[in-house]
Amino acid sequence: MTTTHKRLSILGDDEIEVRYGRPRFTQEERMEYCLLSQEEKTVLEQLHSITSRLHFVLQLGYFKARHLFLVFNLPAVMEDAL
Q: What's the mean per-residue pLDDT of the chain?
A: 87
Chain length of the chain: 82
Give the domain extent around 70: 25-81
Q: What was the pLDDT predicted at 2?
A: 59
The answer to whether residue 41 is domain-embedded is yes
Count of C-beta atoms within a 10 Å radius of residue 60: 19
Q: Which residues contact 1 (CB under 8 A, 6 or more apart)?
A: none
The answer to whether residue 11 is domain-embedded is no
Per-residue pLDDT for 18 more than 70? yes
Taking only the tens place, the pLDDT of each residue in 21-68 is: 888 888 899 889 889 999 999 999 999 999 999 999 999 999 999 898
The answer to whether residue 40 is domain-embedded is yes
Per-residue pLDDT for 20 more than 90? no
Res. 4 pLDDT band, cuts 50 70 90? low
Taking only the tens place, the pLDDT of each residue in 31-43 is: 898 899 999 999 9
How many structural domains comprise the chain?
Answer: 1
Instruction: Give, for 64, the enclosing helix (H) or strand (E).
Output: helix 50-66
What is the torsional sign of CA 8, 10, 13, 16?
negative
The answer to whether residue 9 is domain-embedded is no
